[in-house]
Chain A
Amino acid sequence: MIFALILGFALLLIGIYGMLSQKNLIKIVIGFSIVDTGVHIIIVSIGYLRNRTAPILNSVVDLGKAAQQVVDPIPSVLVLTAIVIGLAVTALMLTFVVELYKKRNSLSIDDYQELKW
């Protein structure tokens, strides 16, 4: 669990670094995506319990003792929702990038600073 948590935070930081260091709009979106993934891993790792299986009621899990055999199902449920939302946001961002490129023929974020002060 600790390893996953560290991995998640590492991804989060890498993603943020990417968003801050890359000038290309698409790369910034990718950075955001990495941040998202990092968060998802953190969420899953939080619900992890040692020596337990996935919270899916199949033949492996004894229905009567399911609560003792599976990891905390809530974070897993949450992460599914979060992934969907992340997908939507990423898709929308990319749409904006496409539209921006159409208007100005540039993918550098430095070309979009006329609104300021």
Chain B
Amino acid sequence: MVNPIYIIILSLLAGFLLSIFDKGGRKLSLTVFYSVLTFNVFVIADWFYRFAILGVSTLTINTAGFSAPLSINLQLGMLESFVLLFANLAGLLSAIYLIKKFKESKISSLILYLILIMGVNGLVMTRDLFNMFVFLEILSISTFALTILTKNKKSLSAGFKYMIAGGVASTFFLLGVIFVYYFSGNLNLEFISSNDFTNYGLIGVFLLAIGIFIELKPFPANGWALDVYESVNSGIVAIIAVVNSAAIIFVLYKILPLLPTVYLSVFTGMGIVTYIFSNLVGIRQSNPKRLLGYSSVAQMGLLAASLFYTTKLGVSQNISFLIAGGIFINHFIAKALLFWIAGIVKKNNIKDWSVLRNNIPLLILFGISLLALSGLPPFPGFWAKWEMVKVFVGSKYYIGLSAILVGSLLEAFYLFRWFGYTTKNKLNKETMEQVQFSQIFPIIVFVLILFFTSFWIMTNVYSLNYFNYLPLVAIFGMFLISFLRSKVKAIISIAAVVLYGYFLFPLGMSIQLLFGIIFIIGSGIVIISTINRKNTGKGFYGFLLMMIFGMGNLIIAESFLAFFINWEFMTIAAYLLILRGKRAKIPAIVFITFSLAGAYFILAGFGYMPNIANNGAIINTIGTIKIPLMAMILMIIGFLVKSASFGAHIWIPGAYAEAEDDVTPFFSSMFSKTGIFGIILLAISFIKQTPDFDLFYWLGWLGAISAIVGAFLATFQEDVKKLMAYSSMSQLGYIIVSISLLSHLGWISGLYLTLNHFMFKAMIFIAIAGVIYRTGTRQMYKMGGLIKKMPLSFITVLIGIIAISGVPPLSGFGSKWLLYNSLIEKGWFLQAGVFFFASAVSFLYLYRMIHSIFLGQMKYEHQNIKESPIWYLIPQVIFIIGIMAISMYPNLIIQPLNTIVGNYFNSSIVIDGYNVTSSLGYWNGNMVMYVTMGVFAVPLILLLLINGRTQTVKQFNIVYAAERPESPQTTHFAHNMFSHYYKALGGLTKPRIQSFWNYVSEGTNSLAGLFRQIYSGNGQTYILHIILYIVAIYFIMGV
């Protein structure tokens, strides 16, 4: 146990002596330098251990033999040691990162660095206001001087701007200190209370607060800091961005008790303004370090806002610590990591970062840092956001809440775009220079700490059930065995999925079982098709399992938090899977932006949720609570984004089409169903509690519009995967409407459709994957006549489209029959009409697909292609058997569904043998099957009998057509097939929704462009900003 004052003493002493040691060689001075930094870390770590684990009480250190207020006193408690532990650790690690630089630079850099760290320690510990000023200046001066560790024109001019602006800010702080002294008669925080300041006295507190607040770089008075982030050496910037900011935010925390409530509100607002606008301006930025600068500034705004706001509300210490501490630590680690990585990559445009692909481990670390900074689970920022939303909703601070969520979305957007550039931009021949161990070591240490903290919060704060870790376990596990062959990994994945389902899923008749079959068993079957891959590249199965377990966990999640984490896990995994596609850069960013926006809606919705008993899965307990209307609306929006309903559908064509072909089935068949699952979750509460407002009526209409619009969009696609993507949108519209009916028959048809859609979409997409695998194109008009070459795929697609279109005898007929029955029973005639029309339109696109790919004339280049590989055929056959079974024996599925839905509604159908009787009539699936088979068999036999002598002709032997075709294209009408309908639709074909979203995105971009004009680059303008900012805040607060 070492008195922490020795940190300051030793640093000062070493600082003075370093230049003498340096005479004995740089090795000696470096040894001293690193020893002192290490000493600091150990002393603070020891104290942190005492406070946090042993529960030692806060330590007060008096100096000069007097007690306060006669002397300056330092204080080290739990919070101080927490902040200082990270600050000193980052100090040490960044020094290690800079070792090469320190070996060559002047000795003064080492001294300055040491003094900087000393200043941070002093600033955090001191309780004396003037002493704070002194340490602040020590910190500032050493930082100013260190900005030119790498001396060039840019860093010099940035440093100069930083210095004059920082100088002005600390002048105000000094004025504040002196006025506080004047009005309270004291400089020691223990002896000053907020009661000392009335009327004019408040000016002292105002100056104090604003002086320190300006040091946190609030928007728009922060141009001076951004230049520094852009131009200064990465190792130093890491310190400025995280360590300096940590110390300054802690000073702010210390003076919080002095501030009157109105200040807290205004500063909260200013923090939030900084967060949203800095992130907005960030989206136009292409320089990585300046981008990180915007993000740093934004995060500091968020942190300050959370501190001010929780203090104002008097939120319990644990919660406020989780919020502020979570944001703090998340930003601290992630930002340091990113600056360090930026220093290694050394590319001044984020578009050139593809060079990072030469170093895969570093790329992974980069990805982890980005995920952490975006506030996604399991990283600390996520938990902070979760609690923050609850606090904001609880206190009805809706503007703040929306601003924070919009800000988060903007931030996630530019971070993910950066990741997209890195992973997808063209890789030139240039290679990265060899990465020094000293540079990678700090990164690894921080990533480990990041994971440790995340794990700690997950286990100790929330004590989540073990299965919530499985998505993470999956990705780590697959990473560890990534050296295996991909076929082996595929089999391991199937085994993992089966074991997961077997051990975790309740097998009783419930909605859980139904979705379990879709998510788990379905995934297990679809994975078979990936065995075909020769080489999957690293990570594929890890992402896949993460997504599957995330989806599975939704069904058994026991709390809203668990549900939401898994929702996010699944989304991240889906993003990474999409990003693996060759041209997936844009679709992936569109996907993640929409998904995160949806997730933030859900997050906000959960903020409104009442508490729920923690016994068993929420799908079973949700009926006991009444969900407020606002929560319902917000969450439904979120779920609709996932199921790509009308309005939010523009992400699907790109994401489905550009994802790898054997991945798309997962998206269409399973992933999109998570949205349906969410809607069912809400509906269960809705029907058990008496609703105030019939939200589901409108949802039904949205479903109907999605169905018809999706069908039309699908009709005009040339790209087979896009066609099927829009078809999914349309089919999910059917499901949404039947769930919205909130009736027994409606839900049976909804769940039946869900199961049906899952099977036929999976098999069609796998069949299509096989076709694309063989032909190498997704454009349907480039195919044709493949029926001879790929008969099995043809049969799959044929059965699939019969099932989709809802003609007898296959299961689609049953689902349509149920759907129309339930719509008519409910009296939704108009909607029924829309669906009838949509079904007719769906014939168009289904016909187009099977005609263009399998019928007509074969192209020359396809003369030698073969049937799909066996691994594609196996799952297709399994699904065909499934569809045939439930078509032939509908009771296999209707009976269980009747039981399941019976939990929520009184039964309205009678099942008698093979007959299903509703109030409107009956349907006998078995009979329909026999009749249809009979209708098919009789003419077939007849034809065979009377037309026995058939002649096989060559492809172009079409003599009876009286012309001799030159090429297959001239006889196969496939390109732009429905152009006449397209013309007939006239103005309806305008891509209005697409234009709307384009307009939103362009508008945001221009707004960002407008706001960033503030940063003119002129140092004087920046000073003016600061002065005007202070004056403006002064008037807003009405001091």
A100 touches B156 (CB 8 A): yes
A116 CB to nearest chain B CB (Å): 3
A32 touches B181 (CB 8 A): no
Specify which chain A residues have a CB less than 8 angstroms from the CB of B156 in the assembled complex. Answer: 96, 99-100, 103
Contact A19:B171 (CB < 8 A) given known A74-B181, A109-B1018 = no
Contact A39:B174 (CB < 8 A) given known A99-B151, A117-B1015 = yes
A93 touches B160 (CB 8 A): yes
A28 at the interface (CB under 8 A from B): yes
A93 touches B164 (CB 8 A): yes
Partner of B153, one of A39, A81, A93, A103: A103
B130 touches A78 (CB 8 A): yes
B346 at the interface (CB under 8 A from A): no
Partner of A115, one of B171, B230, B1023: B230
Interface of A is mostly: helix
Specify which chain A residues have a CB less than 8 angstroms from the CB of B151 in the assembled complex. Answer: 99
B-contact 0/1 string along A84-117, CB 8 Å cutoff: 0100110011001101100110000110111111
Contact A39:B164 (CB < 8 A) given known A28-B1020, A116-B1017, A117-B284 = no
B144 at the interface (CB under 8 A from A): yes
Contact A39:B1020 (CB < 8 A) given known A92-B163, A100-B160, A103-B153 = no
A32 touches B227 (CB 8 A): no
Contact A35:B168 (CB < 8 A) given known A74-B187, A96-B163, A99-B148 = yes
Contact A113:B134 (CB < 8 A) given known A32-B167, A88-B141, A96-B163 = no
A19 touches B1020 (CB 8 A): yes
A110 touches B1015 (CB 8 A): no
**Chain B CB within 10 Å — which of A46, A92, A93 has the most?**
A92
B131 CB to nearest chain A CB (Å): 10
A71 at the interface (CB under 8 A from B): no
Q: CA–CA, A113 to B164, complex, Å?
A: 15
Q: CA–CA, A12 to B175, complex, Å?
A: 11
Q: CA–CA, A82 to B176, complex, Å?
A: 13
Interface of B is mostly: helix
B1005 CB to nearest chain A CB (Å): 13
B248 CB to nearest chain A CB (Å): 17
A40 CB to nearest chain B CB (Å): 9
B595 at the interface (CB under 8 A from A): no
Q: CA–CA, A28 to B163, complex, Å?
A: 12
Q: CA–CA, A92 to B1019, complex, Å?
A: 17
A70 at the interface (CB under 8 A from B): no
Contact A39:B171 (CB < 8 A) given known A20-B1023, A117-B1012 = yes
B1018 touches A42 (CB 8 A): no
B1016 at the interface (CB under 8 A from A): yes
Q: CA–CA, A39 to B179, complex, Å?
A: 11
A32 touches B1018 (CB 8 A): no
A-contact 0/1 string along B99-139, CB 8 Å cutoff: 00000000000000000000000000000001001100100
Q: CA–CA, A16 to B1019, complex, Å?
A: 13
Specify which chain B residues have a CB less than 8 angstroms from the CB of A28 in the assembled complex. Answer: 164, 1019-1020
Q: CA–CA, A58 to B942, complex, Å?
A: 131
A114 CB to nearest chain B CB (Å): 7
B157 at the interface (CB under 8 A from A): yes
Q: CA–CA, A36 to B133, complex, Å?
A: 14
Contact A46:B178 (CB < 8 A) given known A115-B154, A116-B1016 = yes
A37 CB to nearest chain B CB (Å): 11
Specify which chain A residues have a CB less than 8 angstroms from the CB of B1015 in the assembled complex. Answer: 116-117
B1027 touches A16 (CB 8 A): yes
A113 touches B141 (CB 8 A): no
A21 CB to nearest chain B CB (Å): 8
Q: CA–CA, A42 to B174, complex, Å?
A: 10
A55 at the interface (CB under 8 A from B): no
Nearest to A90 among chain B residues (CB) is: B167
Nearest to A8 among chain B residues (CB) is: B175
A-B contacts, 11 of them at CB < 8 A, read A35-B171, A36-B171, A46-B181, A74-B181, A88-B137, A92-B141, A96-B159, A99-B156, A103-B156, A113-B1017, A114-B1017
A28-B1020, A39-B178, A109-B1019 known; 17 new pairs, CB 8 Å cut-off, are A16-B1023, A20-B1024, A28-B1019, A42-B175, A88-B137, A88-B141, A89-B137, A96-B144, A96-B159, A100-B160, A109-B1018, A110-B1018, A114-B153, A115-B154, A115-B158, A115-B231, A116-B1016
Residues of A within 8 A of B (CB): 12, 16, 19-20, 23, 25, 28-29, 32, 35-36, 39, 42-43, 46, 74-75, 78, 81-82, 85, 88-89, 92-93, 96-97, 99-100, 103-104, 109-110, 112-117
